[in-house]
Structure 1
Amino acid sequence: MKTRTHSLVLVGLLTVLSGCIDFGQEQSGFCQRNPVRCGAQSTGSEDAGSTSDSGTTGGEDAGPTVDGGFVEPQVSAGGGFSVALKADGTVWAWGDNEYGQLGDGTTTERLTQTQMPGLTGVAAVAAGGSHSLALKADGTVWAWGNNGSGQLGDGTNTQRLTPTQVPGLTGVAALAADSRHSLAVKADGTVWAWGNNGSGQLGDGTTTQRLTPTQVPGLTGVIAVAAGTNHSLAVKADGTVWAWGDNEYGQLGDGTTTERLTPTQVPGLTGVAALDAGFAHSLAVKGDGTVWAWGDNGAGQLGDGPLCQGRCRLG
């Protein structure tokens, strides 16, 4: 039987992305497009969407940028199914559909790409364990599929076979989904969470399930989030990373295995440009192109070579 190992501290992995993406340039470009979310005062000229339907009150970024009616194509992998966003803002899905996570109004498994009817103007997608999310260019969020833990955010536990708008949630700029919970970042840098909260992965200081989006208190200046199975991550505009939820395998990166019900800064990790989360491990890409990982390493998912206990470093 394979021994499960994990790391309680950050592990530097490899410089694989330099030459592919200039993260310094990317971060600079993000701040030029969204200066308010990087700490600057609003000038009234950096709005990336309609403030009337985004919920923002000033000239600040109101949602994802859409140039000429086209968006950046995107794919997202869920639990046995896949979701793709085309450049024209349409959404396509295939694979397992037991809970209606393909959004086509049925529970029929699809072996080829099927367009999601009635869903257009989408700027980003996220696939969870058995539910899906879509962020429209107007800053609204739409959800469908399994809703047993309230992960669709519509105030019910009712399964949805077609996209349903998450009520009261506007001005969203980014989102994430995993097994049974969902996360959204608003253009003002606040984070909102809903669904399963058994390990505190919603970050509201409780373990109470939430059927509607609830703001993560005290967390501001966020530009991106990632959802693990029972933990969550956020990166701020200043490059710091914050984590909360289950920490059995050290996936929060704070040097302990203590569950955290509110966001805790990952110590010693700065200059981060992107992140992601798995079942019980976490990943971050720094602006210099290096990748850092922490948490469960039972299958070598930290990528640091031979399996090790506790503090692991590359040779």
Structure 2
Amino acid sequence: MAWGASDKGGTGAPSDNGYTKIYSTVGAFATLKADGSITAWGNSDWGGTGAPSDNGYTKIYSTVGAFAALKADGSITAWGSSYNGGTGAPSDNGYTKIYSTGYAFAALKADGSITAWGASGSGGSGAPSDNGYTKIYSTEFAFAALKADGSIKAWGASSSGDTDAPSDNGYTKIYSTGYAFAALKADGSITAWGNSDWGGTGAPSGKGYTKIYSTGYAFAALKADGSITAWGDSDSGGTTSNATSD
């Protein structure tokens, strides 16, 4: 059952059963059935219509205005706003996962190659042409892909982390706020880049950090000794001066 604004998915939900999960854009829903078939409803401009009629899909991903569904054979079908990735999906198969910014998709293949589509200024173009990538991370307008050797390639909007990604390797994981990335190295050191107001600058210079957490505007890194360093927007967790303890 759905409720709310009728032109944004509040009406039109399917009346049958057997669905396993529901996904959404800003104005539409798409639901996946146990047999891998998909039903969508809501605003047609944002993916409420145009869903594939076949089955065998395993997961649905979304931007603000489009859906992309991954099939068991690694093929992809997209629908919704063409600007937001509703068109331009790759026609081949072998993809293992899809990632998204607010306005573009990036699909990772089994060989570690990447195909991106959607708004070009938000990551829809500029993806690396080589392979060997293991995971993709995103901000609102940019992607950052991590390679097996721990090197990083970023693309999308410069204000959201497209530029200034580290040129060395050895990184194990990337974290993000809305407009900045922070990458953790095997030695526990951190490199951040992107919008300085959102955590793109101010990362700690030491080593020994084990994990990074984020709000939409700030990062907080946890060290092996249990100490914490935060940076980013001070009103959104970028400082620990207002932290409280039990």
Distance 1:200 1:80 in 2: 22
Shift of residue 136 of structure 1? 0.2
Q: How does 1:143-182 map to 2 (within 5 A)?
A: 143-148=78-83, 151-154=85-88, 166=89, 168-182=91-105
Distance 1:292 1:265 in 2: 7
Q: For 2:77, which of 119, 142, 145 is the aligned residue?
A: 142
2:218 paired with 1:302? yes
Q: How does 1:48-197 map to 2 (within 5 A)?
A: 78-81=25-28, 83=30, 85=32, 88-91=35-38, 97-103=43-49, 105=50, 118-148=53-83, 151-154=85-88, 166=89, 168-197=91-120
Q: Residue by residue, what CA displacement relative to the aligned partner does 1:108-159 show, whole Å, maximum 9, x if unpaired?
A: xxxxxxxx6734211222101100001100111001101136x2344xxxxx
Read off the aligned partner of 1:271 and give its amino acid letter. T
State, as a whole percentage, how many aligned pairs show the same letter.
27
SS of the aligned residue for 1:126 comes to strand
Q: Which runs of 5+ in 2 are unaligned?
A: 1-19, 199-214, 221-229, 242-246
Read off the aligned partner of 1:234 and give its amino acid letter. A
2:216 paired with 1:270? no
User: Residues 303 and 226 of structure 1: is their aligned pair in 2 closer, same or farther, counting only changes over 3 Å?
Assistant: closer
**TM value normalised by structure 1:** 0.47
2:180 paired with 1:281? yes
**TM value normalised by structure 2:** 0.58
Shift of residue 270 of structure 1? 1.0
Distance 2:22 2:56 in 1: 16
Read off the aligned partner of 1:223 and give its amino acid letter. T
How many matched pairs? 192
User: Residues 82 and 177 of structure 1: is their aligned pair in 2 closer, same or farther, counting only changes over 3 Å?
Assistant: farther
Partner of 1:245: 156
Shift of residue 252 of structure 1? 4.4
Distance 2:31 2:107 in 1: 19
Read off the aligned partner of 2:86 and give its amino acid letter. L
Read off the aligned partner of 1:202 and give its amino acid letter. S
Shift of residue 229 of structure 1? 3.6
Read off the aligned partner of 1:78 and give its amino acid letter. T
Read off the aligned partner of 2:47 and give its amino acid letter. Q
Q: Larger RCO: Structure 1 or Structure 2 (Cα < 8 Å, ≥ 6 residues apart)?
A: 1
Shift of residue 101 of structure 1? 1.0
Read off the aligned partner of 2:145 and give its amino acid letter. A
Q: For 1:225, which of 132, 136, 139 is the aligned residue?
A: 136
Asked whether the 8 Å contact 2:60–2:69 carries over to 1, the reply is yes
Shift of residue 227 of structure 1? 4.2
Distance 2:170 2:240 in 1: 17
Distance 1:280 1:227 in 2: 9
Distance 1:291 1:90 in 2: 43
Asked whether the 8 Å contact 2:57–2:70 carries over to 1, the reply is yes
Q: Which has the higher strand share?
A: 2
SS of the aligned residue for 2:111 comes to coil
